[in-house]
Homo-oligomer: A and B are copies of this chain.
Amino acid sequence: MEAAATSKVDVLIIGAGPAGLMLSLWMAKLGVKTRIVDKRTGKIVSGQADGFQCRTLEIFDSFGIGHKVWHEANHMHEVSFWNPDEDGKIRRHHRGPNTQPNLSRFTEAVLHQGRVESILIDTIRASASPKHPLVEIERSVMPTSLHIDESCVDDEDAYPVEVTLRHLTEEEATPTQRLSNLQDGLYRSNLAEDDTERLLANTAGVGREEKVQAKYVVGCDGAHSWVRKTLGEEYQMKGESTDAIWGVLDIIPITDFPDIRSRCMIHSAEFGAMMIIPRENKLVRVYTQLKQVSTGTGRVDRSQITPDVILETARKILSPYTLDYHYIDWWTAYQIGQRVGDRFSKHNRVFLTGDAVHTHSPKAGQGMNVSMGDTYNLGWKLGLVCKKLLQPHVLDTYELERRQIARQLIAFDQKFSKLFSGRPAKDASDEAGSSMSEFQQAFREAQLFITGVGIHYQPSILTSDSDLKGGLQGTETPSQSQVTSLAESAAHCQPGRRFASQIVLSQADARPWELQLHLPSNGRFRVVVFGGDISQATQLATVNKLGGWLQANWMTDEDPSIVDVLLVHSGPRDKIELLQDLHEVFHPFDKKLGWDYGKVFADDHGKAHKHYGVDPDRGAVVAVRPDGYIGLVTGLEAEDGWTRLQAWFGGLLRPSPSSS
């Protein structure tokens, strides 16, 4: 073995699944020196996760790639519930929208994980520029040791985490079943053993090793996370597995079942439950409960699980409808269980994300979404701290915010899985059975959470406190935030929730825009000024005064400034001249590119003001975090607005070298 080379990097990411790729995307966008390694030779080619929630699509859109997924994916508009009728035959009991209308401009959509990973990888590559180093996924590489030098974790210029990386052979990096049978997903299932231990043990003739000193290390290494295990006992996930085993088939079905292109939740009288997920390219995913493969004592006989066994069960559940297929894309099986870790970070230097810190059943289509949600939350914080734009203590909010979401997810999944796996109750007196109406209601109630749109981060240094409370169940005791919002200024913009989209017209060219598209994920904080009717001189003066204050205080020297200012006004568009009437902060000038015409929007008839809960006579200011979540809501005037903004930014941003 050669002596290990040593190099330094700001961020080292372990694992290139959805969580790792989303994090790399942030790093690539922000231009942070990053390495990402994965023990496998290649990415997923088929199967695995496929459900794309509304909020995830919004996030993809904020990176300019939402339309790609949206175009290729199947959109799921409808859900059908099929239950046994009096003679035990399944019958459609209810049909309704799969995504609650008007939550988002997207509905739930379905596209397989491999395609999603490709899109992310291409976007990471495309983010490279002369100023931003290329972030390339290094395959067939895994860590073999991780050590934190605790003496310097508070020194932000230090590289306190040392990781040894081993470059694997092609054989080590290729799981056995992989090449011979691409459709077989069982080797990656939670019923199969992980190979990390075996690989680590294989010290005879190991490949090249190197040492990396990192400022930050992020474990995105999935359910069997080596990073998590390495961090010690107190990082182990807690929770339980149930006996319920489910099989998954991705097929092009040949069936006379009428709702095969809708999402279906089917409970049969005798043969267990089934879920149907219509997918892209005529594919359909079928989840079926496999009652027969459990050996009773909680152990599972894996060798008994084959696509035929899953198909047989599906046929029994669907009977009298027929089910067959010619083409199978992928199949697997898993055991339902819910686990979540207590700790998501060590010294804010090593972090755990995604399946590495929470696992649950896949049927609600949450894992990939929540995993990317974790690193979407972490990425900009890490990036801006590396760039010395953000105060390092903001990193505390990662565990605070995402652990809450993970716990809500686990609680939802426990309830939902139990109701789904249970035998349908024969009638109201049948207490051992699951009530089908309770099941439907649980599904409906969970919608806001499932779509990701309901996420509501608790108060913290990032999220001001608000009078208008109303989080989801399971909210932890809030850590006190330092600033309070003037919540009534924009009553439907609750701090901690994502800034929703409304359609507004570009002042400069009359183009209608989803306002969210003007809050791209580029690491900038945003001050969205709702100006009200600025064709009124006093209102215009107030807005311009605020503009002057923003310019003087928060337009830092970086190019572009860490704070971005948008103006939405409800005046008549043709009465306003962008360059002439408005303060320059609303049309910043660049020596080479001229004025920026893309920051001011007209809100026809004040419709958007109304949706955001802003009184057009008074206006409001909404400060939005780089991840699109609302941080602060306040007024336009010096007293209400400026002081709160000053305090909020003051607690987060680093004093710019030029100011103070």
Q: Select from chain B the residue with minimum beta-carbon distance to A70.
A: B67
- B594 near A508: Cβ-Cβ < 8 Å: no
- A77 near B594: Cβ-Cβ < 8 Å: no
Tell me whether A126 is interfacial, beta carbon within 8 Å.
no
Instruction: For the A-B complex with A77-B512, A261-B506 known, give 12 more contacts whose Cβ atoms are closer than 8 Å.
Output: A75-B511, A95-B574, A97-B510, A252-B594, A253-B594, A254-B594, A254-B595, A258-B577, A261-B508, A262-B510, A326-B593, A327-B593
- B594 near A255: Cβ-Cβ < 8 Å: yes
Q: How far is the CB of A394 from the nearest CB of chain B, in Å?
A: 33
Residues of B within 8 Å of A256, CB to CB, are 579
Residues of B within 8 Å of A511, CB to CB, are 75, 77
Task: Tell me the A584-606 residues at the B interface (CB within 8 Å).
Answer: 591-595, 597
- B95 near A326: Cβ-Cβ < 8 Å: no
Residues of B within 8 Å of A278, CB to CB, are 509
Tell me whether A260 is interfacial, beta carbon within 8 Å.
yes
Residues of B within 8 Å of A262, CB to CB, are 508-510
Q: How far is the CB of A591 from the nearest CB of chain B, in Å?
A: 7
Tell me whether A299 is interfacial, beta carbon within 8 Å.
no
Residues of B within 8 Å of A75, CB to CB, are 511
Interchain CA distance A261-B260 in the complex, whole Å: 48
- A261 near B77: Cβ-Cβ < 8 Å: no
Task: Tell me the A50-101 residues at the B interface (CB within 8 Å).
Answer: 67, 71, 75-78, 95, 97
Q: How far is the CB of A129 from the nearest CB of chain B, in Å?
A: 14
- A78 near B253: Cβ-Cβ < 8 Å: no
Q: Given the known A-B contacts A258-B578, A258-B580, A579-B258, are A510 and B78 also in contact in the complex, defined by CB atoms under 8 Å?
A: yes
Tell me whether A575 is interfacial, beta carbon within 8 Å.
no
Q: Select from chain B the residue with minimum beta-carbon distance to A509.
A: B261
- A327 near B579: Cβ-Cβ < 8 Å: no
Residues of B within 8 Å of A95, CB to CB, are 574
Residues of B within 8 Å of A592, CB to CB, are 252, 326-327
B76, B252, B258: which contacts A593 (Cβ < 8 A)?
B252
Chain A interface residue count: which class?
35 or more
Tell me whether A469 is interfacial, beta carbon within 8 Å.
no
Q: Select from chain B the residue with minimum beta-carbon distance to A513.
A: B75
Residues of B within 8 Å of A509, CB to CB, are 76-78, 261-262, 278
Tell me whether A198 is interfacial, beta carbon within 8 Å.
no
Tell me whether A131 is interfacial, beta carbon within 8 Å.
no
Residues of B within 8 Å of A574, CB to CB, are 95
Give a binary string over A543-580; 1 marks a CB under 8 Å from any B CB, 0 the rest. 00000000000000000000000000000001001111
Interchain CA distance A254-B577 in the complex, whole Å: 17
The interface residues of chain A, by DSSP majority, are classed as mixed
Residues of B within 8 Å of A510, CB to CB, are 77-78, 97, 262
Q: How far is the CB of A586 from the nearest CB of chain B, in Å?
A: 14
Interchain CA distance A97-B253 in the complex, whole Å: 48
Q: How far is the CB of A81 from the nearest CB of chain B, in Å?
A: 14
- A71 near B67: Cβ-Cβ < 8 Å: yes
Interchain CA distance A262-B78 in the complex, whole Å: 41
- B578 near A282: Cβ-Cβ < 8 Å: no
Interchain CA distance A70-B534 in the complex, whole Å: 32
Residues of B within 8 Å of A260, CB to CB, are 508, 597
Interchain CA distance A76-B506 in the complex, whole Å: 11
Q: Select from chain B the residue with minimum beta-carbon distance to A98.
A: B510
Task: Tell me the A310-369 residues at the B interface (CB within 8 Å).
Answer: 325-327
- B282 near A593: Cβ-Cβ < 8 Å: yes
Interchain CA distance A511-B260 in the complex, whole Å: 14
Interchain CA distance A258-B575 in the complex, whole Å: 13
Q: Select from chain B the residue with minimum beta-carbon distance to A596.
A: B282
Interchain CA distance A595-B284 in the complex, whole Å: 13
Which one of A95, A97, A258 has the greatest number of beta carbons of chain B within 10 Å?
A258
Give a binary string over A252-291; 1 marks a CB under 8 Å from any B CB, 0 the rest. 1111101011100000000000000010001000000000
Q: Select from chain B the residue with minimum beta-carbon distance to A107.
A: B511
Residues of B within 8 Å of A508, CB to CB, are 260-262
* In the A-B complex, the 6 residue pairs with the closest CB atoms: A254-B594, A261-B508, A261-B509, A77-B510, A78-B510, A326-B592
Interchain CA distance A262-B574 in the complex, whole Å: 13
Interchain CA distance A326-B580 in the complex, whole Å: 22
Q: Select from chain B the residue with minimum beta-carbon distance to A97.
A: B510
Task: Tell me the A116-138 residues at the B interface (CB within 8 Å).
Answer: none
Interchain CA distance A77-B327 in the complex, whole Å: 47
Q: How far is the CB of A510 from the nearest CB of chain B, in Å?
A: 4
A-B contact pairs, 29 of them (CB 8 A): A75-B511, A76-B509, A77-B509, A77-B511, A95-B574, A97-B510, A252-B592, A252-B593, A252-B594, A253-B594, A254-B593, A254-B594, A254-B595, A255-B594, A256-B579, A258-B577, A258-B579, A258-B580, A260-B597, A261-B506, A261-B508, A261-B509, A261-B597, A262-B508, A262-B509, A262-B510, A278-B509, A326-B591, A326-B592
